[in-house]
Amino acid sequence: MLVQERSTSESPKTQIRTLPTLHSYRFSKSKSLDFSTWLSENLYKVVTILLLIVTVAALFFLRNVGDTAALLCFQSQTAALEKIQFPKIDWNSIASIPAKSSLYPEFRSEQWIVVSVSNYPSDSLRKLVKMKGWQVLAIGNSLTPSDWALKGAIYLSLEEQSNLGFRVVEFLPYDSFVRKTIGYLFAIQHGAKKIFDVDDRGEVIDGDLGKHFDIELVGEGARQEIILQYSHENPNRTVVNPYIHFGQRSVWPRGLPLENVGEIAHEEFYTEIFGGKQFIQQGISNGLPDVDSVFYFTRKSGLEAFDIRFDERAPKLALPQGMMVPINSFNTLYHTSAFWALMLPVSISTMASDILRGYWGQRLLWEIGGYVVVYPPTVHRYDKIEAYPFSEERDLHVNVGRLVKFLNSWRSSKHRLFEKILELSFVMAEEGFWTEKDVKFTAAWLQDLIAAGYQQPRLMSLELDRPRVTIGDGDRKEFIPQKLPSIHLGVEETETVTNEIGNLIRWRKFFGNVVLILFCNGPVERTALEWRLLYGRIFKTVIILSETKNSDLVVEEGRLDHAYKYLPKVFDTYSGAEGFLFLQDDTILNYWNLLQADKSKLWITDKVPKSWTTVSAESSDWFTKQSNMVKKIVSMMPVHFQVSHKQSVESEKSVTICSSEVFYVPRRFVADFLDLHGLVGDLEIHHKVAIPLFFTAMDSVQNFDPVLNTMSYREKPAATNSSTIYSVHVPAVHPWNVSNEQDFIKLVRIMAEGDPLLAELV
């Protein structure tokens, strides 16, 4: 069972297969056949096989020596069949689906609560039913008890859902909460103006949604007020963690890119916006907020339930165009202008469905001039202390950062909202965020909305493309979030956290514009996300290399033997970076001990005896070949490189070897590195030989920064990781093996002595 109570398994479909009856005539006596008789009886088979052979031969001929144009035409037709087809919809001929097809043809309500149910009614759900003015709609699935019932709630079983006549039914899995999509359409069909999307463990605080959300946006009941808004001053800031604003800086919501987890500073200032278009309203949950598996799995302490509280007095907070926030299906209010954004994707895991829906919907919301507002605690969700599936979120963590960037860059020239919605879903499938199934599902959803009587909103001009208005001093509004106590692993946060956060900020400022290039020798599918989580708190950019490329995890391919040959590509991509730090995953970086280093100098382990060594060129054939290549490169060096190198080497008959687990190249030496890389050309000089050669050519060893000289270094790895190897007082530790999540957890716990906030991760 999942913490969020979402099942991702395929629903069982029982198939009864009738076995064929064995009749006696099936085993008749064999015939004696000669070749001519056999050929006459099987002539059509022979002809078919010959035609097939001729066809294959013709294609082979075309590919190799024949008409290339004909072959390309054939190939293009084949590729066309594989392309995602854009749905064709006649928007003017969509027939309405009357409410009389349901069990409640005459029932109407403007305010609906839609919830998915897999078990018998919970206490929280019983309280939701008693809320005045709201109609609860419970959506069943294949896991729901057949005798499910709750007085005051409308319950739709699988059979009743299929009888409603909606197109989306054929796309929905039987055992998933995404069947709520039918519930949204049912509510719209029966007069909905507001839909509260919630799960069955959420208790509305004080039992009154109107006390927390803006239920009315126009008319007498509307609150005509000004809302605090995140600043749009930094156009590169595209996603934020709202929990910081509400007093919990060490907690992050599910769907926040892991590279943004370390951003825990509060806002320098806010701006303001007039209320009235907050068509999507995201509430904060006390108790068990909507957190991801990384947070839940690594911060659990035994059987202790989470009971995290947020600042109920903090003002609600709007997001400007160009900035997004994770939106879930546990505690969110949708107004009629945003009902189209309720669609839950079906081709991705259920743990990612509502998050991708939220980002997709936010981008489209800008097209009608709407925006998202995040509200102080509105519900209390109870932690049931159950296992949480990290694997079910892996695709979410990999894709969400790329998705936010894509959505901010996406533009459409369509003239109606539904056309833009369909176009975006199509392009997202082409980009691999979901599959063609969700393109077809979007088409069915939009048609069902129209059939249910929904009127699509009018488009507004996109503010994102307008010049950004300068924020004057008078427009800057200040709010300092509270620092509420949080209990993680039985350790209560106190004011000492202020110093720890101060240290984290100092480290981030020091390394914020340094690119970390991490080479993974271990299995990236088990460790890539963990490394990004650990070092992404400090380094804004973390590049991961491995012998095997993994596009899903954004891992680039590179051979360790020639890892230096990949660096020029990184240098070019991050031309504004202050420097580049290379690190192998068998070496642990104690970043808190590097602040005294000079980022304008080269860093390397030239004073670490077992890491930097000199070997006779005649020691082996391999060293002889490497030595000859070094001599060839040195002979081609310009005078300044050659002089510097020869001053640093003991003898031309020896080869300098550096294990090169960790080194740093500042921006001012990048051009020199590129020149030296150009001299290597196609030579197969090894990484361990090339790096000390480059470093000694770029600058005198006397000018290297000594920051890495005191690292803890052992040549041969121990059988298992040991605390005797690790020291919190050195700049780096080698070797240390991390091959799975448990190894990562052990590492983080031991590193927490130097960075106490790491205890928050485990």
CA atoms within 13 A of residue 496's CA, in its CB half-sphere:
7
Residue 62 has pLDDT above 60, yes or no: no
Most confident by average pLDDT, 92-101, 299-308, 721-730: 92-101
Domain range enclosing 288? 221-493
3-state secondary structure (DSSP) of residue 42:
coil
On whether both 153 and 269 belong to a single domain, the answer is: no
Radius of gyration over every alpha carbon of the chain, rounded to an integer in angstroms: 32
**How much of the chain exceeds pLDDT 70, in percent?**
83
The answer to the question of residue 337 being in a domain is yes
* The pLDDT of residue 27: 33
* The pLDDT of residue 349: 87
Distance of CA 605 to the CA centre of its chain: 35
Residue 654 has pLDDT above 50, yes or no: yes
On whether both 511 and 550 belong to a single domain, the answer is: yes
The answer to the question of residue 235 being in a domain is yes
Distance between CA 365 and CA 361 in Å, rounded? 6
Distance between CA 496 and CA 493 in Å, rounded? 7
Instruction: Give the largest CA-CA distance in the chain.
Output: 103
The answer to the question of residue 637 being in a domain is no
On whether both 666 and 744 belong to a single domain, the answer is: yes
Q: Is the distance from CB of 89 to CB of 422 less than 8 angstroms? A: yes
Residue 387: band (very low, low, confident or very high) from pLDDT cuts 50, 70, 90: low
**More confident call, 34 vs 706:** 706
Q: Is the distance from CB of 254 to CB of 388 less than 8 angstroms? A: no
Give 540's DSSP letter: S
The CA angle 485-490-493, to the nearest 5 degrees, is 25
The answer to the question of residue 124 being in a domain is yes
> In the chain, how many domains are there?
3
Q: Is the distance from CB of 56 to CB of 64 less than 8 angstroms? A: no
CA atoms within 13 A of residue 253's CA, in its CB half-sphere:
31
On whether both 592 and 508 belong to a single domain, the answer is: yes
3-state secondary structure (DSSP) of residue 612:
strand
Angle between helices 180-189 and 436-451 (to 10 degrees): 20
* The pLDDT of residue 86: 95
Residue 491: band (very low, low, confident or very high) from pLDDT cuts 50, 70, 90: very low
Averaged over 534-543, what is the pLDDT?
A: 88
On whether both 281 and 425 belong to a single domain, the answer is: yes
On whether both 251 and 296 belong to a single domain, the answer is: yes
Cis ω on the peptide bond leading into residue 20 (within 30° of 0)? Answer: no
Last residue of a domain, one of 440, 467, 493: 493
pTM: 0.62
* Contacts of 545-554 spanning 24+ positions with Cβ under 8 A: 545/517, 545/518, 545/519, 545/520, 546/519, 546/520, 546/521, 547/521, 548/524, 550/524, 550/525, 552/394, 552/395, 552/398, 552/399, 553/398, 553/524, 553/525, 553/528, 553/529, 554/398, 554/402, 554/528
On whether both 333 and 429 belong to a single domain, the answer is: yes
Give 372's DSSP letter: E
Over the stretch 3-29, which tens digit does the pLDDT of each residue have? 444 444 333 333 333 333 333 333 333
Which one-letter amino acid corresponds to residue 385? I
On whether both 348 and 248 belong to a single domain, the answer is: yes
On whether both 580 and 447 belong to a single domain, the answer is: no
Residue 551 has pLDDT above 60, yes or no: yes
The answer to the question of residue 418 being in a domain is yes
On whether both 488 and 393 belong to a single domain, the answer is: yes
* The pLDDT of residue 41: 57
Over the stretch 409-457, which tens digit does the pLDDT of each residue have? 999 999 999 999 999 999 999 999 999 999 999 999 999 999 999 999 9
Q: Which residue has the tokens 């590195």?
A: 673
The answer to the question of residue 565 being in a domain is yes
Residue 390: band (very low, low, confident or very high) from pLDDT cuts 50, 70, 90: low
How far does the chain reach from its first CA to its final CA, in angstroms? 22
Residue 107 has pLDDT above 70, yes or no: yes
Residue 378 has pLDDT above 50, yes or no: yes
Residue 224 has pLDDT above 50, yes or no: yes
The answer to the question of residue 521 being in a domain is yes
On whether both 241 and 378 belong to a single domain, the answer is: yes
| Polymer length of the chain | 762
Last residue of a domain, one of 493, 514, 542: 493
Last residue of a domain, one of 446, 476, 493: 493
Q: What is the mean pLDDT of the chain?
A: 85
The answer to the question of residue 234 being in a domain is yes
Out of 1-5, 289-293, 715-719, least confident range: 1-5
On whether both 473 and 383 belong to a single domain, the answer is: yes
Phi-psi region of 432 (alpha: psi -120 to 50; beta: other; left: phi over 0): left
Within 10 Å of residue 86's Cβ, how many Cβ atoms? 15
